[in-house]
Amino acid sequence: MMTPRLRRIGSLVVVSAVAVAAVLTTFGASIAPVHAADNASAPWTVSVTPNTALTDGQLVSINLQTTTDHRIYEANAQICRLGVDYAPSDGERPATDFSAGDLNCPAVPISSSADVQTGDENTYIGAVEPGGETFSMYVGSGVVEWPASSSGRTQRLACDSENPCALVVEVYGSTAPGVARWIPYVQTLNYRVDDPVAGCGGPATGILNTAGAERTTDVWINWTLDQCHLPGAQAGAASRASFSGEGDAMDGYSSGALDLAYSAVGYEPEPKLGLGTRSEPLAARASSAVPLGLNATVVAVGNGRQGPNNRKIPFSDVKLTIDMVAHMFSGGASDFNDYSLSDFLDLNPQFRTVSVFLPAAIQVGAFAPADASSWFLTSFMKANRPELWKVPDTNKFGPERGLTRNAEIAFGLASPSFNGAVDMFTGNSVLVKTLRSQNTNAYGGIWYLTDLATAKRLGLSVASIENANGDFVSPTAASMTAAVATMTKTDDGRLMPDPTATVAKDAVQPYPLTFVDYAIAPTSKLVDSTCKGRTASQALLSTWLNYAVADGQGKLPDGYVPLPEDLKASATDAIAKVGSVTPDCFIEGDAPGTPEPPDSAGANSSGGVGRGGQRASTGAPANGETPVGGGTNRASDVASAEVPEFMSRSAASTAAALGGLVVVFGLLTTMALATTGRMPSLASIRSRFGGTR
């Protein structure tokens, strides 16, 4: 017989279970599909890539392949609810369960970075050709609510790391002679954790403070989430990261605010990164450069041209001579049109019916702050076309007309300036907004100087560049690997592109703007402000670097090429030098905790990371002192940081703490702002680039 006490306990259990269910519903907990659609019943094949570890605003490709017996006439796709048995349709449109704004599929995007719907009507011929027909869609991560058109009741859809969603592709095609049907294909979309530190259960003891250029964001996220889950790995994430820019990262590293910086140029003498400013100079820190992967500077073009049925399709197989690149970036669209347009159209006839430079906020775009791609392209131009690498001699450029241009690490600080030639901005989000704001009938090119990994992520078409031999070379794994042998070695062991390098005609032609991204790490042991050794941090640094050049090579994002064997060997030698020097003042022991980087070291101090336009400064400590042994900032200038405990709890555990939901929501809001880059940093480069977009 159950006693009153046991009955009360049983009642509490029931109430708790109901509360847990309510909170899980509130937070949009994942519900397992009750009946997935039968994707194998169609006489054609549909594939969606990528479909795992997705991020907000990621571009996915939808490929259709069929035979002449089963022609495809049209395809439509949108993000919908998972777990629905989407029905085929014999009518003119898909079944009502696919209707936007009704029970399963929202009529508004899941986030500001996502598309609501996409489609393709150019499938009749393309889908039967080798490789099939491919169209694209930006998928988002977030939560959206809408009133169902059939009932008026509020519907809710969450797409995130806890809640996979469905990309439903409705394909209309011939299933038998004289018979056409709409058949749904359902692809489950799985999203990765937005905050890698939280995804690892919080920060590891001695967590490292790191920073780099925006292009290395996905590298750090992929590696963080993979490394911490390997067998025998430390508990928690190995590092925090801020991606405010290559110049800020090197300055923060020199000041001691950072334990590691990601850069392709490091302490290269000419760009002079990491040396601060005239008013606040910094000294280079004794370092070892560990190669992480191959990337490439590219000239990419977005938007598109008119295809069949007036559908906008991307440009393809674009070619640029060295002269064309020189005119494009030295003088902008007008100079290019005056001197290169005719030759360009002969090489790229697909542009004959559209504007080579679409009248938009960005025509020829580039980062304003310091970035390796700016340095490598301008160095290439100065070496190969010095007679063209000049400010156009026209009234448009005022007193700078006719001046010789230099190799520049930052377009926004160049002298002579690029005002009137290059549209400058501080983050990729500006370019993305420009691309997505174009109407469906706005055909033409939007050009951008960037790196291959970024171009791939943004869905841009990459141009083949003429090399010194006169060959057009695109950045592929083969051409980028071949470029390593043509690079020159610096005094500190880094490899830098040789802009004039050539190889025999019968050899694999190297892509001339290939570069190596490095982890710049201190040769001195990590210490705190009292010169006491940060043993846990030092061990993490070794673990992180060894992972990066081993297992991490298999987790590089699209656009990066793994290190060739000779670079792997040099990476091992470089890692051996990290922490090999003991400061004279060194005190044995382990400093308690790891300093939080100053607020100016990045809005992502908790480990979250935002994209596009986030700017942060990792300057010297407030008191202007450089820590002994190149360690961290003074303890008085930094604070210990821990990811809130709720970040590592299960949903059920969080639900049990119903009384603290108000606090939780407040913390979540703060963390979300930092993670998405919407929380403004105390430091800004507006003072440097006030005239840029």
Residue 371 is given by DSSP the state -
CA distance 472 to 512: 10
Q: Using CB atoms within 10 Å of the CB of residue 331, give its burial: 0 to 12 exposed, 13 to 18 middle, 19+ buried.
A: buried
More confident call, 246 vs 615: 246
Three-class DSSP category at 328:
helix
372 and 310 in contact (C-beta within 8 Å)?
no
Beta strands 58-65 and 45-49 are antiparallel
Model confidence pLDDT, tens digit, residues 466-518: 988 889 999 999 999 999 999 999 988 899 999 988 898 889 999 999 999 99
* Average pLDDT along the chain: 82
Query: Residue 212: enclosing H or E segment and its boundaries?
Result: none
Pull the structure tokens for residue 446. 């939007």
> Which candidate, 260, 241, 165, 143, places its Cα nearest to that of 200?
241
pLDDT at 566: 94
Per-residue confidence band for 593, with pLDDT thresholds at 50, 70 and 90: low
> Distance from CA of residue 519 to its chain's centroid?
18
Least confident of 2-11, 168-177, 533-542: 2-11
Three-class DSSP category at 341:
helix
- CATH 3.30.830.10 correct for 45-189: no
426-454: average pLDDT = 93
Q: How far is CA 632 from CA 220, 242, 250, 525, 637, in A?
A: 21, 16, 14, 11, 10
Domain boundaries of the chain, sorted by first residue: 45-189
Q: What percent of the chain has pLDDT over 70?
A: 79
Model confidence pLDDT, tens digit, residues 636-668: 232 333 333 222 323 333 333 333 323 223 323
The listed range with the strongest mean pLDDT (588-597, 600-609, 620-629) is 588-597
82: left (phi over 0), alpha (psi -120 to 50) or beta: beta
Model confidence pLDDT, tens digit, residues 556-590: 999 999 999 999 999 999 999 999 999 999 999 77
CA distance 68 to 590: 70
Model confidence pLDDT, tens digit, residues 444-456: 999 999 999 999 9
The predicted model scores a pTM of 0.75
